[in-house]
Amino acid sequence: MCRWCTNPDGHRADMLASVPHMQSIHKLFGSRVRQLREQEQLGAADVAALVGCDVSHYYAIERGTHPPSFALIVAIAKTFKVDEADLFTWPGSGIRHDLREQIRLAPPQALGPLKTTLGHPIAPSSSTPPTSTPAARGGAGASEPAAGGRGTTGRPPTPRSRRPPRR
């Protein structure tokens, strides 16, 4: 029995409000991981080696008998080249899950108009994020501090504290 659950089979069936009559979250997670592994055409032993865990542990995750650690969730997501939240998306269980899966499967070019419509313009992937400091823009104060020893913020520099000498 799971130490956080109260029913004899080990897990609560009402953990997600969006999924009525839901099976165990561990089993759902495991079946999602298996689905993504099969889409990538990888063997369980291969994935276990890539994420750095034992094959039997990985199989237990896919069966839903053992929950993964956060670090393992991140490693699994990186292996399948998905966002961590995609591991907790169950297509067919609700509109939000279905939409998230469609967005995951869509080519990046198709998402441009959607992001623009939603008010999130796509930044070119090769450019660096914009910065607002004068030094980054190459404006005033870019190479030398302003008069009075003050930097670009207009505040005096913070003195560095010194550790007292050892005796």
Length of the chain in terms of residues written: 167
Give yes or no for residue 89 having a pLDDT over 70.
yes
Give the CATH superfamily of 25-118. lambda repressor-like DNA-binding domains (1.10.260.40)
pTM above 0.85, yes or no: no
Beta bridge partners of 146: 150
What pLDDT, on a 0 to 100 scale, did the predictor assign at position 115?
A: 77
Buried b (16+ CB within 10 A) or exposed e, 71-105: ebbebbbebbebeeebbebbeeebeebeebeeeee
pLDDT (tens digit, 9 = 90+) per residue, 32-79?
A: 999 999 999 999 999 999 999 999 999 999 999 999 999 999 999 999
Distance between alpha carbon 96 and the CA centroid of its chain, in Å? 18
- The ranges assigned to domains in the chain are 25-118
